[in-house]
Amino acid sequence: MATASVINGELAAGKSASELNTGRFTAVYSEVQTSRIDHDLPLPSVLKGSFKIVDGPPSSAAGNPGEIAKLFPCLFGQPSAQLLPCREPVVSEKKLKIGVVLSGGQAPGGHNVICGIYDYLQDRAKGSTVYGFRGGPAGVMKCKYVELTSEYIYPYRNQGGFDMICSGRDKIETPEQFKQAEEAVIKLDLDGLVVIGGDDSNTNACLLAENFRKKNMKTRVIGCPKTIDGDLKCKEVPASFGFDTACKIYAEMIGNVMVDARSTGKYYHFVRLMGRAASHITLECALQTHPNITVIGEEVQTLIAELNEILARGVVDEAGLWKKKLTGQSFMLFELLPQAIQEQLMLERDPHGNVQVAKIETEKMLIQMVETELEKRRQEGIYKDYFKGQSHFFGYEGRCGLPSNFDASYCYALGYGAGALLHEGKTGLISSVGNLAAPVSEWTVGGTALTALMDVERRHGKFKPVIKKAMVELDGAPFKKFASMRNEWALENHYVSPGPVQFVGQSSDAVNHTLLLELGA
Amino acid sequence: MATASVINGELAAGKSASELNTGRFTAVYSEVQTSRIDHDLPLPSVLKGSFKIVDGPPSSAAGNPGEIAKLFPCLFGQPSAQLLPCREPVVSEKKLKIGVVLSGGQAPGGHNVICGIYDYLQDRAKGSTVYGFRGGPAGVMKCKYVELTSEYIYPYRNQGGFDMICSGRDKIETPEQFKQAEEAVIKLDLDGLVVIGGDDSNTNACLLAENFRKKNMKTRVIGCPKTIDGDLKCKEVPASFGFDTACKIYAEMIGNVMVDARSTGKYYHFVRLMGRAASHITLECALQTHPNITVIGEEVQTLIAELNEILARGVVDEAGLWKKKLTGQSFMLFELLPQAIQEQLMLERDPHGNVQVAKIETEKMLIQMVETELEKRRQEGIYKDYFKGQSHFFGYEGRCGLPSNFDASYCYALGYGAGALLHEGKTGLISSVGNLAAPVSEWTVGGTALTALMDVERRHGKFKPVIKKAMVELDGAPFKKFASMRNEWALENHYVSPGPVQFVGQSSDAVNHTLLLELGA
């Protein structure tokens, strides 16, 4: 067993880093990292006192409940659960053995989910054991784990990254892999497993829960919503963790570039942000910084959907008459695109026939488009200025930053709540912390039936359960706010520079715009 | 005249930005920006009370004093000046008219230099006037300016960027241009001009000072050391402003990427940082973050110097026999480089015949080199793992960030001191704030003869005065510290993640490693 201890802030170069011996490596911590370790995490009031867990009404599914019921015969329809304060101290003598796994790409706050689970068990089920599966779901299948102790997790409190137990992108899919997972949880005698991941990982968590239940195994499974993309959310799960911090880091960079642009006027800056189909990050960063022009992927989805329709019917003629089938706005948008991008949209499809949007270096494409247009105007004698584009891609810098106060508290509550749900014997739920626009003390805590978030997709002739990715809603409050302001931002200078994430002071507890607007706060 | 006023923190999207009407545009400020405006700037003790300005001994030059004396007949040899506390209040009734110009690339803190000048005049020469020349030296030549008032400068206090009056890269070089500058300062009846810039701009400042003095004009000229590159420094001017903040921003990003790398092990990350010949930024970031491998340009200068020598003699044969003229280590290094880079080193030269090092995308080059080497080893059967490189370039994000507490205070003292020097009638000095490893109250303030920093270079058959760029000294304390630790960093995990710049709390006043090590602190 690895142990950890703080070697009393021994000074490294420049008197600003202290060494922490985690047993596996000597971690050198910056002053800010060190100051974060002992950051006092507020808990929602309900988690501070005595609480009882109250079930809601039976649940259904996000779509095709009949199919979901067939796929999850044991779990379908189970109620969501809510933690409510109660007078009598609920004392359970039950000690638990819990496993935890990080799945998929990093998001700031993952360590705090684990700390939350651990602290719940320390506080409410003394003598329990927590195992961290190493390297993601592969760690579950290979039963590669480490026992987590106070000393072990201490250096990771409020720290970014997933390096406490690391993550991975493997999936537990085949019957053999399910068998391996079963063997692992039996070997460790687990009462519960917490899966910290995105939409796919939480679908996987639900399949595991169903499987364990079907086989009358005692192991319960609880999911936690993680992804900087912000596309795992619904009414009961208002946010995925990591989104807040990542957006704040990207917005810091964008704001700095804006000040740069305003100081010289030498370049036009084009910024692309990490992410896949959903544009929540871009929308949030736009709300934080007010760029002149923002392209929200969901707005161009119409064109792509129309193209998909046309291509599926196979009526693309060389003369381009097929373009008449596009609606007015889509036609204009398509004609605006450089030929290379037009061809990419028409030809380069993934195995599902979808456009591979994330592979397009939009920032460079746009610079090229503007150059072409201005050159045309120059030839016509109507443009005499000079244009110089500078491209930026912000991605990896944001996934592993120190969690903002919001993400630190949110994750801690998610983990603490997950512990409570497992202690109560719940399974197939996703840890759900709500009322997030209010002060932490007023946050609600509970669990939502994972089956309630599911729909089915037909793949290879079979129905597969999926938690639908939440896309930017063009009639949702964040987009509408953006849409109401963007014309002004385009013409006048409204740049905002959010500056670096602060951990102390007035602005340090600020919640992102998307969440506030979605919650109507 | 533009005026500015704060429109009472009216709330924009998400309740986190307030609007500031600067008269020219409505600036929307983030909470952090707003909180910085009223940040209380400490002044060195000597600037708080009564002080007198004491001259030191006559100065010489950094090299070729005979030539410098010929180029600066009026100014050469003049002493540096030091501000010393004194008992009797020195009351000067003299009101001043001062112009200020920002020259070259942005560096965090430039606005505070201007605020420092302004506040000095408010405090000690009430009724004085400050003009900001717009858009850099071109603004001086075209006499394009704005009168700076309390209201005008207020929103820029402690803010990043140069957008208060903007900057530019023009130079005042030809006799016609000097004439234009003369006309501008005569038109505005200037007692003084403060040039905020890098090595070239300060050389230019000294030429202006000499020219004004020669013509018996009353206008004095004081320089201020600005550049994120950190290559304008000497004993009396221990740092250029902006370096501290820029390095901290880059180090934040590098630290985040390190945590990312540690969490998955999926990529090897290769980071290139902004800058030109000098590698102070890279060295400082290495000291802050402990990467596995750091390439310091000055270590490979030997190869480039040898290539320059060989090319100057024009003895490059197709067969490659010329390579035998390289020393052993340079030959090995050259052979290691991919052919494209070899060709770039041999062929692509700037007008002075120098290699355009900054144009080499080192991060991509290194990934390519590693791929080539590992593929070779794979063929030989001695490498079976997989390598995936991810490249990053951090540049524009760092030039316009909110100044760190250090840069904010340092710049304010530089400006305040420049005001005092002009009030005393000094010219041809660069504002010099020293003892920077101590608390701000103990900082020393004065001015160093610009001629003392100069050497000559022969260009087009003439001697030109130059302030030599300070390169990373391979026997200096920062490099030696780095060299003593890098082997350990290469083999073990010593990553440090500095986190975002904090403006409040213990770590917020931390000074960069380079400065601390150079000052022996």
In Å, the largest CA–CA distance within chain A is 83
Task: Phi first, then psi: give them for residue B349, nearest 5 degrees.
Answer: -120, 150
> A480-519 in b/e burial notation, b at 16+ Cβ within 10 A?
ebbeebbeebeeebbbbbbbbbbbbeebbbbbbbbbbbbb
* Nearest partner of A291 among A341, A366, A359, judged by Cα: A366
Query: B167 to chain A, minimum CA–CA distance in Å?
Result: 6
Token readout for A310 is 């046309």
Q: Reduce the DSSP state of residue A188 to 3 states and report it.
A: coil
Q: Reduce the DSSP state of residue B182 to 3 states and report it.
A: helix
Contacts (Cβ under 8 Å, ≥6 apart) of A397: A249, A250, A253, B253, B256, B257, B392
Contact indicator for A377, A369 with CB cutoff of 8 Å: no
Angle (CA) B120-B124-B129 rounded to 5° is 65
Task: Phi first, then psi: give them for residue A76, nearest 5 degrees.
Answer: -55, 135
Q: What is the pLDDT of residue A213?
A: 98
Token readout for B168 is 């530019």
Angle (CA) B157-B161-B167 rounded to 5° is 115
Task: Phi first, then psi: give them for residue A156, nearest 5 degrees.
Answer: -95, -5
Global pTM reads 0.90
**Catalytically annotated residues of A:** 229
Burial class (CB in 10 A: 0-12, 13-18, 19+), B332: exposed
Contact indicator for B513, B284 with CB cutoff of 8 Å: yes
Token readout for B203 is 């050389």
| A161–chain B Cβ distance below 8 A for any pair | yes
- Over residues A169-218, the pLDDT tens digits come to 999 999 999 999 999 999 999 999 999 999 999 999 999 999 999 999 99
Q: What is the DSSP letter of B478?
A: H
Higher-scoring residue by pLDDT: A328, B422: B422
Query: B291 to chain A, minimum CA–CA distance in Å?
Result: 12
Token readout for A363 is 């920032």
Residue B198: CB atoms within 10 Å: 25
Q: Reduce the DSSP state of residue A210 to 3 states and report it.
A: helix
Contact indicator for B422, B92 with CB cutoff of 8 Å: no
Higher-scoring residue by pLDDT: B433, B357: B433
Contact A392 B396 (CB under 8 A): yes
Token readout for A194 is 């917490």
Which amino acid belongs to residue A68?
I
SS percent in chain A: helix, strand, coil, step 5 = 45, 20, 40
* Nearest partner of B455 among B463, B445, B447, judged by Cα: B463
User: How far is it, in rounded angstroms, from Cα B246 to Cα A21?
Assistant: 30
Token readout for A337 is 């695109």
Q: What is the pLDDT of residue A148?
A: 98
Nearest neighbour of A500 by CB, restricted to B392, B501, B512: B501
- Over residues B128-145, the pLDDT tens digits come to 999 999 999 999 999 999
* Nearest partner of B153 among B106, B112, B210, judged by Cα: B112
Q: What is the pLDDT of residue B166?
A: 95
Q: Closest chain B residue to A165 measured between Cα atoms?
A: B263
Token readout for A209 is 């829960």
Residue A348: CB atoms within 10 Å: 11
Task: Phi first, then psi: give them for residue A229, nearest 5 degrees.
Answer: -65, -20
| A305–chain B Cβ distance below 8 A for any pair | no
Q: Reduce the DSSP state of residue A480 to 3 states and report it.
A: helix
User: How far is it, in rounded angstroms, from Cα B313 to Cα B319?
Assistant: 17
- Over residues A6-47, the pLDDT tens digits come to 222 222 333 334 444 444 445 689 999 999 999 999 999 999
User: How far is it, in rounded angstroms, from Cα A389 to Cα A364?
Assistant: 9
Residue B269: CB atoms within 10 Å: 20
Q: Dihedral, CA atoms, A358, A360, A362, A366, nearest 10 degrees?
A: -160
For chain A, report the end-to-end CA distance as a whole number of angstroms: 47
Confidence category of residue B349, pLDDT binned at 50, 70, 90: low
Confidence category of residue B396, pLDDT binned at 50, 70, 90: very high
User: How far is it, in rounded angstroms, from Cα B467 to Cα B201?
Assistant: 10
Q: Which residues of B are annotated as a binding site for diphosphate?
A: 105
Nearest neighbour of A402 by CB, restricted to B260, B263, B499: B499
Task: Phi first, then psi: give them for residue A7, nearest 5 degrees.
Answer: -90, 75
User: How far is it, in rounded angstroms, from Cα A369 to Cα A378?
Assistant: 14
Q: What is the DSSP letter of B232?
A: S
Paired sense of beta strands A192-197 and A145-148, if any: unpaired
Residue B4 reports pLDDT greater than 70: no
Q: What is the pLDDT of residue B6?
A: 25
Contact indicator for B451, B236 with CB cutoff of 8 Å: no
Residue A264 reports pLDDT greater than 90: no
With tokens 């169903």, the residue in question is: A210
Q: Reduce the DSSP state of residue B345 to 3 states and report it.
A: helix
Size of the A and B interface in Cβ pairs below 8 Å: 247
Residues of chain B with Cβ-Cβ distance to A15 below 8 Å are 516
Which amino acid belongs to residue A493?
N
DSSP B116-159: HHHHHHHHHSTT-EEEEETTTHHHHHTT-EEEE-HHHHGGGTT-
Mean pLDDT of the region A265-294 = 92
Q: What is the pLDDT of residue A348?
A: 63
Which amino acid belongs to residue B29?
Y
What residues are paired with B195 via a beta bridge?
B101, B223
What residues are paired with B5 via a beta bridge?
B21
Contact indicator for A161, A194 with CB cutoff of 8 Å: no
Mean pLDDT of chain B: 89
Query: B32 to chain A, minimum CA–CA distance in Å?
Result: 6
Token readout for A292 is 């002149």
User: How far is it, in rounded angstroms, from Cα B169 to Cα B148?
Assistant: 22
The full 3-state SS of B237-286, as one line of letters, equals CCCCECHHHHHHHHHHHHHHHHHHHHHHCCCEEEEEECCCCCCHHHHHHH
What residues are paired with A207 via a beta bridge?
none
SS percent in chain B: helix, strand, coil, step 5 = 45, 20, 40
User: How far is it, in rounded angstroms, from Cα A480 to Cα A465?
Assistant: 31
Token readout for A487 is 């014309």
C-alpha atoms less than 13 angstroms from C-alpha of B254 in its C-beta half-sphere: 32
E strands along A226-284, which residues? 268-273
Q: What is the pLDDT of residue A9?
A: 26
| A397–chain B Cβ distance below 8 A for any pair | yes
Residues of chain A with Cβ-Cβ distance to B405 below 8 Å are none
Q: What is the pLDDT of residue B26?
A: 54
User: How far is it, in rounded angstroms, from Cα B276 to Cα B283?
Assistant: 13
Nearest neighbour of B28 by CB, restricted to A30, A290, A504: A290
Contact indicator for A17, A30 with CB cutoff of 8 Å: yes
Mean pLDDT of the region B56-69 = 96
Mean pLDDT of chain A: 89
Q: What is the pLDDT of residue A352?
A: 60
Q: What is the pLDDT of residue A359?
A: 64
User: How far is it, in rounded angstroms, from Cα B283 to Cα B46?
Assistant: 33
Residues of chain A with Cβ-Cβ distance to B496 below 8 Å are 12, 17, 28-30, 33
- Over residues A81-110, the pLDDT tens digits come to 999 999 887 667 789 999 999 999 999 999
* Nearest partner of A470 among A137, A110, A62, judged by Cα: A62
DSSP A286-318: HHHH--S----HHHHHHHHHHHHHHHHHT---T
Token readout for A286 is 């736009």
User: How far is it, in rounded angstroms, from Cα A471 to Cα A230?
Assistant: 9
- Over residues B109-118, the pLDDT tens digits come to 999 999 999 9
Residues of chain A with Cβ-Cβ distance to B167 below 8 Å are 263-264
The answer to whether ipTM exceeds 0.85 is: yes
Contact indicator for A400, A280 with CB cutoff of 8 Å: no
Mean pLDDT of the region A273-296 = 93
Contact A106 B263 (CB under 8 A): yes
Mean pLDDT of the region B239-262 = 97
Residue A379: CB atoms within 10 Å: 9
Residues 398-417 of chain A whose Cβ lies under 8 A from any Cβ of chain B: 398-402
Contact indicator for B106, B162 with CB cutoff of 8 Å: yes
Query: A504 to chain B, minimum CA–CA distance in Å?
Result: 7
